[in-house]
Structures are given as structure tokens and as C-alpha cells.
Chains A and B, each alone.
Chain A
Amino acid sequence: MKSKTSVLLLIVLLLFALFPFVGEKFYVQLVAKVMIMAIFAMSLDLLVGYSGLVSLGHAAFFGLAGYVLARLAPQYEAASLWTSLPLALAACAAFALLTGLLVLRTSGVYFIMVTLAFAQMLFFVFHDTPLGGGSDGIYLYAKPELMLGGTSLLNLEDHRVFYWFVLGLVAAVYLLLQRLLDANFGRALIGIKSNEHRMRALGYDTFRYKLGIYMLSGMLAGLAGYLAAMQYGFVNPDILGWHTSGSVLVMVILGGMGTLHGAALGAFVFILLQEVLSNQAWFGPVAKHWQLAMGLFIIAVALFLPRGLAGLSGQRKLREETHG
């Protein structure tokens, strides 16, 4: 099964790599966005699918990294990717550590609500204080540059180069996580998810594992947020809002949690669905109420598709979820 999956993934990767040669600019950018959201969804899947930690505030990291980039960029010039990306990720790690020490002391519904509340707090930090630049958001006039000794390695302003850059990062994140989850770390997480007491009895410091995955997840969400801010050159407090957190959660479950490719698939289908349902040209006046269709669809997924789209293929990794 392992090799078959790898071959399949390679083919998918290749198809994606070729897309910019045939696709129009808009669609190339759209797919780049989908890939960014796929990183975001995979990062959340680490918590939701692998660790049983349902976060409803994941947008906090996404937005935080974007704001760090926007704040670091000189007014009309490009920031350096070498410094701004690590700093953005470090900020996310720090925020994850700080909040993680609090939120990980809670569990279940508490965890859900507390993560939401912390994201909301960060929303107000960027909305109200001089740190954030107010409700109208901040521009980035130029994408960060990847320089080496005075020469630019990649022209990220070109939409195709940016696309491939993102594609490379998605693939890297996917491989990294695949490795990590197959290793002891991943097995320990799954053990903690199914029975934390037992794992503790076995001598695992479960809190440290959870904090570790929480920080990793926050940093990856930050990577996605950094890329998103870079792509459109604009950050606004609303990217930290709870609808962003809600959307990414929908992506994870829609695709099938506990499977990395499921999360990526979920991001793809979710955004596609949004595009289609809200398309005024296809649905005319009905498109005005596209969120009704979206809402019903989400309810249907929750009720009838607990393992998401990836679960449809029969290749399930997870047992039926129940809680007592």
C-alpha cells in the first residue's frame, strides 16, 4: 500500500507542477491559494485528527504570521524572506507556547472554547492596538525576496514561480509530517489521543508531547498565513476571525481527518465548492443565498460523512470516533 500511495502522490505532484503551463493566471493563483490552505488544513489536522485536540482558534496563528510579515516589511520595499519567515514562525511558536501552557491544561469542549477565545483576543490586539494597523488592514507592497549574496534566487512576483514555490513547500510539509507521524512521535500522539492515562502510566510525558504538536501545528499554520499574506499582499484583522478558524476546520473534516492527504483534499474541495456556489453567473439570484447551501452541505458532512472524503475510499486510518 505504501509504495502505491507514493506513486499516486508523485503523479499528483507532477500534475500540479505542470498546471501553470496550461492554466490561466487567475486559476494558477487560485490553485496556489488552495495549496496554501492545504498547509493550513494539514497543520490543523495535526491537532484535530492526530491528537484529538479540536481547536476553533487556529486562525490566530495564520493571522499572526501574516501580521508579522506585514509589520517587518519596509514600507515600499521587499522584506527578506530569510529573516521574515523565521521570525513569523518564531512568533507563532512563541504564541503557541504561551497559550499552549494554558489551553492544554483543558480538554474537550473547554479546549474548543478556550482556543476560540484566545484567537478572539489576538483579533482585538491587531484590531485595536497600534501593533496592528487598525480595522482596514495593512498592505505589503512587494513580496518578500529570497536573496543570496545580492542575487535573487526566485522571482516570487511571477505568479508561476510563486506557485511552484508554494507547491514545493506543500510537498515538503507533507513529507516532513508523514515522516514525523510514522515515527515514534506520531505513534505516541495516537496513543495519547485514544488513552492519555495509559500513556502517562507507560511513562510518557503526555503534556510535552501535546505542547510539541501544538507548537508545530501553530508554526505550520503560520507558514500558511505567511504565504497567504505574501500572495495577496494584504492583511486584515478578519483573517484571525473565527470564520477563518471555522472554515479550516470544515476543510479538515470534509477531507477526512487523521490523513494528511485528506486535509489537503478537504481544502481543495471546500474552496472549489465556495467558488461554484457563490458564482453569480451560474446560479444568478440564487447565488445570493449560497451560504445556505454551504451550511446545509456542512451539516450533511457532519451527519453522514464522519470520516470525510478520504474515508470514502475505504482506506481508513482511524477508528470510529466516540466519546464517553
Chain B
Amino acid sequence: MDFYSFLIQLLNGVQYGLLLFLVASGLTLVFGIMGIINLAHGSFYMVGAYLAFSLAGLTGNLFTALPLGIGVSVLLGFALEWLFYRHLYARDHLYQVLMTYGLILVFEELRSIIWGDDVHGVAVPDLLSASLPLTDNLSYPVYRLAMSGVCLLIAGGLYGLIKKTRLGMMIRAGSSNREMAEALGVNIKRVYTVVFALGVALAAFAGMIAAPVSSVYPNMGAQVLIICFVVVVIGGIGSVWGALLAAILIGLTDTFGKVLLPDYAGMSTYILMALVLLWRPEGLFKR
């Protein structure tokens, strides 16, 4: 591999990692703050992609579909929290695993009933449909670069939200000491509802902006879910920066694994995880 190809592969890895971060950020947030293990997170990603498909079809443009889709997914988040998740906060992780596993099956079937089992596509918005030439025969789609930018913005935004805002303060209070926070008048119930809806919206948003490059198809959430778990484990539960770093590490491992060791590419990310755990059992950034 010459140096120039190496740089391009680096770009590929980082870009993939940033998208992984976007999906995983909601997962790590919900884990870290609410202590909920949510297997259905991948389903929210899938719902987002299908929403993008339907809404972009309806409105004719992904840009108008995005705010609508976020609205729908926030509502979905509220509804799911109210109906299901809220009853499991005090219970063992086991039941969270069980219930969210059930939710995966339900979401897949509902997807099949509502949208069918076809593969669908979402058009790249005209504004971002150009490509930048990198070599004589390879160019880089602007949309992918824009996605990376959005992912970085979200990372910064999340950091700011948690560190700098009143909501963030309540979130931090709630996750470090629930009773104390409640005694101080923080409405933990409401904080949890908001955080969960935010988690759903993040996953759905990732699904929406990924839809134009990934297409929209059944079971698309399951693949993403497991890799997101690895991101969260490596990064350290609840750590936004950890997730960002881990996601980029995985993006690079996956990219270079495919190029250099194709037979072992499927395993490479898991081997990375094992190595990190050997070194730091609670991930890179323990909260």
C-alpha cells in the first residue's frame, strides 16, 4: 500500500468510525445514565432509516424529512419509555435484556407489516451529491464527508449538553447518585424519560442520515447493534469521548483488517476488544 492509498484508507476508517459513534452514542448515554441495557437500540437505527425512506418520499427531500423523523422518533422514545422501559429501571439487567430482545422481534415484524421486506433507497440530497476527486479514478462523495461533519457536531453537542447545561447537570446528578439528586429536587423520572428519548432520537437520526449511503433493508439494525456494543465496551460505558475514540479505533481496525488480513477481518474488531479488556477491563474511559 503506498502512502497515498494509506491516507485514503485512513479517511475511510475515520469516516466509518464517526458513523458508528453516532449510533453508539445513544446506546452509551442510555447505559451510562439510566443503567439500561438496550438491545433494541439497533431497531431504532432501523426505524430511523425507514422513516427517512418514507418521509423523504413524502416530502421529496431528506432535509425536510430529518426534523420530521427526529420528531417522530422522540415521540416513539417517550411512548416506549412510558409503556415498557420505565418498569425496568429498578430491575436486574437480565430483564432489560429479555424485554429488549422481545422488542427486537416486535420491531422486525412491525417493519415487515408496515414497510414490507423489500430493499429501498433514499436519494442523496442534490446539495451534497457531488464527489471530490482523490485519484485519477477514485473520488470521495461529499455526502460522506458531510456525514462525518455532522457526527463530529453531535459529539461536541453531546459533550456541551452534559457538561454545560442545566439538563446535563441533572443528568450527571441522576447518574451518579439517584437518591441524592431526588432529594435535591431533581425530577429523576423526567430526566430519564428525556434521556431515553434522546437515545432513541440519536439512533434514529443515525439511521436517517446513513440511509442514503446504506440503503434501507430488513434486519439492518442487528448488524449495527453488536458492533455498537463493542464500541461501548471499548470506550467505557457512559463515556461520550470514550465512545468516539473507540468508534474510530474500530473503524480503522475494520478498514485495515479488510485490506490487510481479509480472512480475519470479521474477527478483528473482537480481537481488538479482547486486547483492550485485557488492558483495561472497564474500557478506555471509565466514568
A–B contact with Cβ pairs below 8 Å: the answer is: yes
CB within 8 Å of B: which residues of A? 48, 54, 56, 102-103, 105-106, 108-110, 112-114, 116-118, 120-121, 123-125, 127-129, 242, 246, 249-250, 253, 257, 289, 291-292, 294-299, 301-303, 306, 321-323
Chain A residue at minimum C-beta to C-beta distance from B271? A121
Q: How large is the interface on B (under 10, 10 to 19, 20 to 34, 35 or more residues)?
A: 35 or more
Q: Which of B35, B102, B263, B273 contacts A295 (CB 8 A)?
A: B102
B37 at interface, CB cutoff 8 A: yes
Given contacts A295-B103, A299-B106, contact A110 B270 (CB under 8 A): no
Residues on the B chain within 8 Å of A123, using CB: 266
Q: Is the CB of B31 within 8 A of A301?
A: no
Q: Does B98 contact A (CB under 8 A)?
A: yes
- Cβ contacts A to B, 5 pairs, < 8 Å: A116-B229, A124-B267, A292-B106, A295-B109, A298-B102
Contacts of A257 in B (CB 8 A): 94
CA distance A296 to B264 in the complex (A): 38
* Among candidates B98, B230, B273, residue contacting A302 with C-beta atoms closer than 8 Å: B98
Q: Which residues of A contact B282 (CB under 8 A)?
A: 106, 110
Q: Is B8 an interface position by the 8 A CB rule?
A: no
Q: Which stretch from B10-18, B84-92, B148-156, B186-194 is at the chain A interface?
A: B84-92
Chain B residues in 8 Å Cβ range of A117: 226, 229-230, 233, 270, 273
Cβ of B213 < 8 Å from any Cβ of A? no
Instruction: Verify A298–B270 contact, CB threshold 8 A.
Output: no
CB atoms of A298 and B105 under 8 A apart: yes
Please give 18 more A-B residue pairs, beta carbons under 8 A apart, in addition to A110-B282, A249-B101, A323-B90: A106-B281, A108-B93, A109-B237, A113-B229, A114-B277, A116-B226, A117-B226, A121-B270, A121-B271, A128-B266, A250-B98, A257-B94, A289-B109, A292-B110, A301-B102, A302-B96, A303-B88, A323-B93
Does B127 count as interface, using CB distance less than 8 angstroms? Answer: no
Among B37, B97, B106, B266, chain A packs the most CB atoms within 10 A around the CB of B97
Closest to A108 in B: B93
> Interface code B258-285, partner A: CB below 8 Å = 1, 0 otherwise?
0000011111001101100110011100
B218 nearest CB across to chain A (Å): 12
Main secondary structure, interface of A, reads: helix
Q: How far is the CA of A121 from the CA of B92 in the complex (A)?
A: 26
Q: Which residues of B contact A109 (CB under 8 A)?
A: 31, 35, 37, 93, 237
Q: Is the interface of B mostly helix, strand, loop or mixed?
A: helix
**Chain B residue with Cβ nearest A300:** B102
Indicate if B108 sits at the interface (CB-CB under 8 A). yes
Report the 10 A-B pairs with minimum CB-CB distance, sorted nearest first: A295-B105, A298-B102, A124-B266, A121-B270, A302-B99, A292-B109, A295-B106, A299-B102, A105-B281, A302-B98
B132 contacts chain A at the CB level, 8 A cutoff: no
* B270→A250 contact, CB < 8 A: no
B residues lining the A interface (CB < 8 Å) = 31, 35, 37, 84, 87-88, 90-99, 101-106, 108-110, 112-113, 226, 229-230, 232-233, 237, 263-267, 270-271, 273-274, 277-278, 281-283
- Inside 8 A of B263's CB, which chain A residues have their CB? 128-129
- The listed residue (B87, B94, B273) touching A303 by CB distance below 8 A is B87
| Contact between chains at A118 and B270 (CB < 8 Å) | yes
Residues of B within 8 A of A118 (CB): 270, 274
The answer to whether B233 and A322 touch across the interface, beta carbons within 8 angstroms, is no
Distance in Å: Cβ of B224 to nearest Cβ of chain A: 13
Q: Give Cα distance in the complex from A233 to B232, angstroms.
A: 38
Task: Output the least CB separation between B50 and chain A (Å).
Answer: 16
Say whether, besides A291-B109, A295-B105, A54 and B97 are in contact (CB < 8 Å): yes
**B281: chain A residues within 8 A (beta carbon):** 102, 105-106, 110
How far apart sit A258 and B66, CA to CA, in the bound complex (Å)? 47
Contact in complex: B99, A298 (CB < 8 Å): yes
Q: Which of A120, A129, A301, A322 contacts B226 (CB 8 A)?
A: A120
Query: Which A residue sits closest to B222, measured CB to CB?
Result: A242
Cβ distance B184 to chain A, nearest Cβ, rounded Å? 19
- Nearest chain A CB to B6 CB, angstrom units: 25
Partner of A306 from the list B91, B106, B229 (CB cut-off 8 Å) is B91
Q: Which residues of A contact B113 (CB under 8 A)?
A: 289, 292
